């Protein structure tokens, strides 16, 4: 008899060894000091350990809870062709009215189009000619955009390294994101919201830029009222044209005000500048510009005034007719030669239409600049383009040798290098990142793709680690209390057999945790609830078996025969009850999200393992006990 049970004990031993092996990294990680974790993180070993531990959800580990809303008005604006002031007025009115709770953007849009007599086919001819047809097409575009945002955000978060994130659609245009264990909330927020629209624009040459500046000044002098002048000069101090220290004229890249703007009649000495308002009235646009080596710039305190001027309808009309636009650099940098370290944003006058967009990027990789390059040791993102992008890049660089090309990311110029030669390989490099993390995040976004519509954060909560630790403590306490009460009951009511059932119950919990660790699943507070439910289900199977065995003993059967018959009679009932629960767990896992999925995962594996421990492990032990000769009774 003992020899026939040997294979069963081997199977039990192997499974026990596997469970201990699977849980060992979790045990090591939980008992590891913060200093030791930091050492392993620096050596790169910590990530290997973390990949094998039981992951904790947002409610246990802490992290971020964010609700994002897609900017549908901006999407509608981007989809429109031949936009004009009338269209913008209708769209702006729609945006204002749709801010009211429980209002649908497209319903308001329809009403505004009808009341204004706007012809939508003029702006959305690709979607049809009738209003209903066009609006249906736009709604489909909005739904498709949300689905693409979901997929792109999932790709971004996966590469960001968050374990088991929750990213799901909420309503029509909202997305719920839960990121467990996130420490750098600002970085995660930027990663989720960044549209990462990469574009390459040719920079207009100095002569064209100078001519445009003069034309804009002429337009502004005629259209800017005294009230606007007073408001803007309030943000443009009297010393806006003064340089505290002259630029180094020996520098080949340094330029003077006149070299950038031509003969303006405005000098930087005090004799010719008596009042900032007079300067502004004579040259509203140029008076806000600061000369920088090789470029023009706007100091930080004058950016608001410059943006107000650029937003004026007269300025926008002039820029549209010239097929140009002004864009700022992505960050302000100290002005060379300024003792006070005054900072300025570079201002670029570029073409209105990009030569190339980020859609042609095949590969984006963050790294440090190589020795010998201008960016040695600095974070950069290296790009490789697909075949179409390589051909276009070769044509653009070949036809514009000596010109500058602006690399624009999300409407801000990161760099504007000169084209020295034709680049046939389709590769280029973006510089100007604050640190390697920023470069990595941009590379992630470019690889995952740009968002089809901007997204705004409308709700954000930070779940602190202390709250998660409290949940773990209470959850663990509830499991231990429930486990202790069940084990005491089994010992009192079923004696030695109860002790065997308790042994199988502990096995059950260990095996469930081992499975979670092996599957890299996430344990949440609902998952702990599923673990408690598993304890009850496991004991329920043993209770059914032991009651059947007692019935067989009352009929006068020997202990061995009673156990054999009891297990056979109980097996059908146990399978029926557990299979129905397994089906329910599968349905919850398939259609549930987040915490519900965590509960379903623990419940599913808990039920399967409880059947193994109740039917296989306890039966093996009881068969071993009853195989002894001369045994006349069993403690049950």
- Given a contact cutoff of 8 angstroms between Cβ atoms, the answer to whether 606 and 512 are in contact is yes
Looking at the DSSP bridge assignments, the partners of residue 522 are 55
Q: How do residues 481-532 score in pLDDT, each as one tens digit?
A: 888 888 898 888 888 888 888 888 888 888 998 988 888 777 777 888 888 8
Higher pLDDT residue, 198 or 196? 198
Distances (CA, A) of 628 to 421, 562, 625: 91, 15, 6
pLDDT of residue 270: 36
Helix (H), strand (E) at residue 296: strand 295-299
- CA–CA separation, 601 and 531 (whole Å): 10
- Residue 357 forms beta bridges with which residues? 199
Please give the Cα distance from 96 to 109 (Å, whole number): 11
Distance CA 415, CA 428 (A): 12
Domain 63-195+455-463 fold is Alpha-Beta Plaits (3.30.70)
Sign of CA dihedral 263, 266, 272, 277: positive
Q: Are the beta carbons of 375 and 417 closer than 8 angstroms?
A: no
pLDDT band (50, 70, 90) for residue 412 = confident
Cα dist. 47→26, 27, 38, 159 in Å? Answer: 13, 15, 11, 14
Count, in order, helices (H) and strands (E) of the chain.
Answer: 22, 18
Two structure tokens written together for 385: 């383009």
CB atoms within 10 A of CB 354: 16
- Separation of alpha carbons 26 and 55, rounded Å: 9
Please report, for the chain, the start and end positions of each structural domain, with discontinuous segments joined by +.
Answer: 2-57+466-626, 63-195+455-463, 201-351, 357-403+419-445
Beta bridge partners of 383: 364, 428
Rg (C-alpha) for the chain, rounded Å, is 35
Q: With a threshold of 0.85, does the pTM exceed it?
A: no
According to the CATH classification, is domain 2-57+466-626 in 1.20.1640.10?
yes
Q: Determine how many CB atoms are found less than 10 A away from the CB of residue 33.
A: 8
Position 104 scores a pLDDT of 82
Q: What is the side-by-side order of every strand in the sheet holding 379-385? A: 361-368, 379-385, 427-430
DSSP string of 366-411? Answer: EEEBPTTSTTBTSEEEEEEE-HHHHHHHHHHHHHTTTSBEEEEETT
Interval 177-184 mean pLDDT: 72
Q: DSSP assignment, residue 616?
A: I
CATH number 3.30.1360.200 is the correct assignment for the domain at 357-403+419-445: yes
Written as six digits, the tokens of 493 are: 């009511």
Using one digit for the tens of pLDDT, what is the confidence trace for 222-259? 776 666 655 665 544 434 333 333 333 333 333 333 33
Return the closest-CA partner of residue 196 out of 455, 506, 3: 455
pLDDT level of residue 263 (50, 70, 90 thresholds): very low
Q: Which residues 6+ apart lie within 8 Å of 281 measured at CB?
A: 221, 229
Judged by DSSP in three states, 460 sits in strand
CB contact at 8 A, 5 and 623:
yes
Q: How many CB atoms lie within 10 A of CB 475?
A: 21
Nearest-10 crossing angle of helices 72-79, 85-97: 160
Distance (Å, rounded) from C-alpha 12 to C-alpha 14?
A: 6
CA distance 206 to 274: 29
Residue range 10-38: average pLDDT? 85
- pLDDT greater than 70 at residue 74: yes
């Amino acid at each position: 008899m003992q020899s026939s049970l040997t294979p069963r004990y081997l199977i039990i031993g192997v499974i026990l060894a596997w469970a201990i092996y699977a849980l060992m990294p979790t045990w090591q990680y939980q008992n590891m000091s913060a200093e030791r974790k930091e050492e392993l993180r620096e050596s790169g070993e910590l990530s290997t350990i973390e990949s094998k531990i039981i992951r904790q959800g947002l409610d246990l580990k802490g992290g971020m809870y964010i609700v994002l809303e897609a900017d549908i008005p901006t999407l509608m604006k981007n989809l429109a062709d031949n936009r004009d002031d009338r269209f913008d007025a209708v769209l702006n009115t729609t945006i204002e009215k749709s801010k009211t709770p429980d209002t649908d953007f497209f319903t308001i849009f329809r009403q505004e189009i009808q009341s204004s007599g706007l012809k939508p086919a003029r702006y959305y001819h690709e979607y049809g000619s009738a209003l209903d047809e066009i609006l249906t097409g736009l709604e489909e575009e909005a739904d498709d955009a949300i689905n693409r945002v979901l997929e792109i955000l999932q790709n971004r978060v996966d590469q960001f390294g968050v374990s088991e994130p929750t990213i799901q659609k909420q309503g029509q245009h909202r997305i719920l994101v839960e990121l467990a264990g996130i420490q750098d909330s600002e970085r995660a927020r930027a990663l989720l919201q960044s549209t990462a629209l990469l574009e390459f624009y040719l920079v207009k040459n100095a002569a064209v830029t100078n001519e445009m500046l003069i034309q804009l000044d002429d337009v502004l002098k005629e259209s800017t009222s005294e009230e606007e002048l007073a408001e803007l000069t309030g943000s443009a101090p009297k010393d806006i044209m003064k340089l505290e220290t002259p630029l180094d004229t020996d520098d080949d890249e340094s330029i003077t005000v006149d070299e950038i703007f031509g003969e303006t009649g405005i000098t930087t000495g005090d004799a010719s500048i008596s009042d900032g308002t007079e300067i502004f009235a004579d040259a509203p646009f140029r008076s806000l510009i600061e000369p920088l080596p090789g470029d023009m710039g706007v100091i930080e305190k004058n950016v608001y005034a410059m943006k107000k001027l650029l937003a004026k309808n007269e300025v926008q009309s002039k820029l549209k007719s010239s097929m140009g636009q002004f864009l700022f650099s992505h960050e302000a940098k100290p002005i060379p030669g300024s003792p006070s370290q005054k900072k300025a944003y570079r201002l670029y006058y570029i073409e209105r239409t990009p030569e190339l967009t980020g859609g042609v990027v095949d590969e984006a990789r963050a790294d440090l600049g190589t020795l010998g390059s201008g960016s040695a040791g600095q974070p950069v993102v290296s790009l490789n383009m697909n075949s179409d992008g390589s051909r276009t890049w070769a044509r653009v660089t070949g036809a514009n040798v000596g010109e500058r090309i602006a690399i624009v990311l999300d409407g801000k110029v990161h760099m504007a290098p000169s084209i020295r030669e034709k680049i046939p390989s389709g590769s280029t490099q973006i510089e100007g990142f604050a640190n390697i993390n920023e470069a990595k995040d941009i590379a992630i976004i470019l690889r995952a793709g740009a968002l089809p519509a901007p997204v705004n954060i409308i709700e954000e909560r930070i779940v602190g680690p202390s709250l998660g630790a409290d949940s773990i403590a209470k959850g663990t306490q509830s499991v231990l209390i429930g486990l202790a009460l069940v084990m005491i009951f089994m010992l009192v009511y079923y004696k030695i057999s109860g002790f065997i059932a308790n042994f199988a119950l502990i096995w059950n919990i260990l095996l469930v945790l081992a499975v979670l660790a092996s599957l890299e699943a996430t344990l949440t507070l609902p998952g702990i609830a599923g673990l408690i439910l598993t304890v009850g289900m496991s004991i329920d199977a043993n209770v059914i078996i032991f009651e059947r065995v007692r019935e067989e003993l009352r009929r006068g059967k020997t202990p061995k025969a009673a156990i054999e018959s009891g297990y056979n009679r109980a097996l059908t009932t146990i399978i029926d009850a557990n299979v129905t629960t397994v089906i329910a767990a599968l349905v919850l896992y398939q259609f549930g999200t987040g915490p519900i999925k965590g509960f379903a995962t623990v419940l599913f594996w808990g039920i399967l393992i409880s059947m193994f421990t109740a039917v296989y492990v306890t039966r093996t032990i009881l068969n071993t006990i009853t195989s002894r000769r001369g045994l006349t009774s069993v403690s049950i």
